[in-house]
Structure 1
Amino acid sequence: MTDIILETRGLTKVFKGFTAVSDVNLRVRRGDIHALIGPNGAGKTTCFNLLTKFLAPTSGTILFNQRDITTEQPAQVARQGIIRSFQISAVFPHLSVLENVRVGLQRRLGTSFHFWRSERALAGLNDMAMSLLEQVDLAGFADTITVDLPYGRKRALEIAATLAMEPELMLLDEPTQGMGHEDVSRVTDLIKKVSAGRTILMVEHNMSVVSGICDRISVLQRGAVLAEGAYAEVSIIPEVMAAYMGTASDTLESGDSRSSVRAETTDGNTHG
């Protein structure tokens, strides 16, 4: 089996004359945590939507495990093991934490549409659901109604629900967006923990998170790949500094407060 789990070749998306993603050649290595970073409007979320088939590319090819998935539908790629989260937490607010995870397990086990069965028939999934909640440190919240969870815990629940689908490749879109320092640290540790035996591709603006857990990063600017490699190598490239800070004399080091502020306040639109 190849070391490359996901690859794009010349991936391009044009919206009515505006090129949001331009000739992107991305290679994600199996087992890595790989980040897509870049300033506002760089094309990161659009790229995610192309990879998960919520958008159709204008041109280019997407390969997953060396198989061409360019023309497949979202449900087809999800069944193959590509599962994503979204910028806005996508959980069922009026179900309990346990029930949210159980929904994901139902789909995986093929019982999602057995509407005629008693809810008691789902009890057999509870042990599996609890095991997943333990992985994300939510076992103590199993009976909590999801709407009552703090925001950071909701993001952890979303990761647990994603794990219920047994993803081979997890795509996390802004997993720490809008969080305070404590929640950022908790979710960062969680991502590192659940990455064991999996591949993660994530869009993230907090450079402390990126530098701390990512094996490799790709920097997008104006829809094109500006640089790719290890964080320590890419972060000192003058063009990358300029893309984030507006001048090559500034730095993108994780400890630089200017880059942290810039990183946490960029890419607020859906074509990020």
Structure 2
Amino acid sequence: MSSTETILETQGLTKEFKGFVAVNKVDLKVRRGDIHALIGPNGAGKTTFFNLLTKFLPPTRGTITYRGTDITSERPAQTARRGIVRSFQISAVFPHLTALENVRAALQRGLGTSFHFWKPESSLYPLHERAMELLEAVDLQAFAHEHTVNLPYGRKRALELATTMALEPELMLLDEPTQGMGHEDVHRVTELIKKVSAGRTILMVEHNMNVVSSIADRITVLQRGAVIADGPYAEVSKNPQVIEAYMGSADTELQGAH
């Protein structure tokens, strides 16, 4: 795989906590433009792995390369400026602002003027049009002037997608984007992820196998911090080690996902 195809690569990425190995020598390659799903039973190390990528944790060993540059020892802000943005951790949704105001605030952050809250509101008008475009991208234009606290759960998650996109990510890290949703919301948010993936790369941690099988180009399976399988869904779902890893796991159903 040429370096132009690989946007993110980890080699031997390892994180130990006082003798407990949470992430164990993970080699991962994410191709530019793919939706790449990271799956595994609870406690497999998925969230820790995300925390390593976004620099909220330093690795014990191993390297992280983004667009051919070693970013292993960078600070979180440097990594974010490169275009690696994690959604649902920023949860940049202020409950008492409207959906539109939330997206405008995120656009402001992207401009580096996040702390200019004392500026007159008129200074935000140039951002208004872009904010409305982003709300339309996630089907929230009808909710633009609704206070976020009043939005249904699935719509709040859609708003989080819009605020993440406001930061112009090249690589979007989505952490359990459909967690806690009913069937209708899951379907809507899955479609939105597919839509917002145009022109960018997505790495997502997801439990719902129907979501993974319907939109992921590639899947990496973690178990006890180590990669046990990597490839397209059709191949990974037949892997005996993967099937065994998921047996007895109530929150994930590998069989029956179409």
**What CA distance in whole angstroms lies between the structure 2 residues aligned with 1:224 and 1:254?**
25
Aligned to 1:190: 192
**What CA distance in whole angstroms lies between the structure 2 residues aligned with 1:193 and 1:60?**
33
Q: Choose from 69, 80, 83 the match for 1:81.
A: 83
- Contact kept, 8 Å, 2:88 with 2:160, in 1: the verdict is no
Q: How far off its partner does 1:255 sit?
A: 3.2
Q: Choose from 14, 30, 33 the match for 1:31.
A: 33
- Contact kept, 8 Å, 1:192 with 1:213, in 2: the verdict is yes
Compare 118-127 and 160-169 and name the one that shifted more: 118-127
Give the 3 Å change call, closer, same or farther, for CA 199–254 of structure 1 in structure 2.
farther
Q: Choose from 99, 102, 118 the match for 2:101.
A: 99
Residues 73-103 of structure 1: CA distance to partner in whole angstroms, max 9, x if unpaired? Answer: 1111111000001379552111110111111
Matched ranges for 1:8-19 at <5 A: 8-19=10-21
Residues 153-184 of structure 1: CA distance to partner in whole angstroms, max 9, x if unpaired? Answer: 00000000000000000000000000000000
**What CA distance in whole angstroms lies between the structure 2 residues aligned with 1:82 and 1:172?**
11
Residue type at the aligned position of 1:120: S
Residues 171-199 of structure 1: CA distance to partner in whole angstroms, max 9, x if unpaired? Answer: 00000000000000000000000001110
- Contact kept, 8 Å, 1:34 with 1:215, in 2: the verdict is yes
Alignment: residue pair count: 253
Residue type at the aligned position of 2:82: Q
Q: How far off its partner does 1:253 sit?
A: 2.9
Q: Choose from 131, 134, 137 the match for 1:135.
A: 137
Aligned to 2:5: 3
Aligned to 2:123: 121
Q: How far off its partner does 1:34 sit?
A: 0.2
TM-score by length of 1: 0.90
**What CA distance in whole angstroms lies between the structure 2 residues aligned with 1:246 and 1:155?**
29
Aligned to 1:62: 64
Provide the aligned C-alpha RMSD in A.
1.6
Residues 18-74 of structure 1: CA distance to partner in whole angstroms, max 9, x if unpaired? Answer: 100000000000000000000010000000000011111011100010111111111
Work out whether 1:157 is the aligned partner of 2:162. no
Alignment gaps of 5+ in structure 1: 257-272
SS at match of 1:26: strand
Matched ranges for 1:210-225 at <5 A: 210-225=212-227
Q: How far off its partner does 1:119 sit?
A: 1.4
Q: Choose from 22, 30, 41 the match for 1:20.
A: 22
Query: After the TM superposition, which parts of structure 1 deviate over 6 Å for at least 4 consecutive aligned residues?
Result: none
SS at match of 2:188: helix
Q: How far off its partner does 1:237 sit?
A: 0.6
Residue type at the aligned position of 2:143: F
Identity score, percent: 73
**What CA distance in whole angstroms lies between the structure 2 residues aligned with 1:53 and 1:200?**
18
Q: How far off its partner does 1:111 sit?
A: 2.4
**What CA distance in whole angstroms lies between the structure 1 residues aligned with 2:29 and 2:205?**
15
SS at match of 2:95: coil
SS at match of 2:255: coil
- Contact kept, 8 Å, 1:52 with 1:84, in 2: the verdict is yes
**What CA distance in whole angstroms lies between the structure 2 residues aligned with 1:37 and 1:122?**
40
**What CA distance in whole angstroms lies between the structure 2 residues aligned with 1:94 and 1:230?**
42
Compare 27-36 and 89-98 and name the one that shifted more: 89-98
Residues 220-271 of structure 1: CA distance to partner in whole angstroms, max 9, x if unpaired? Answer: 0000000000000010011100000159xxx823438xxxxxxxxxxxxxxx
Aligned to 1:259: none
Residues 119-140 of structure 1: CA distance to partner in whole angstroms, max 9, x if unpaired? Answer: 1211111111000000000011
Matched ranges for 1:163-242 at <5 A: 163-242=165-244
- Contact kept, 8 Å, 2:92 with 2:106, in 1: the verdict is no
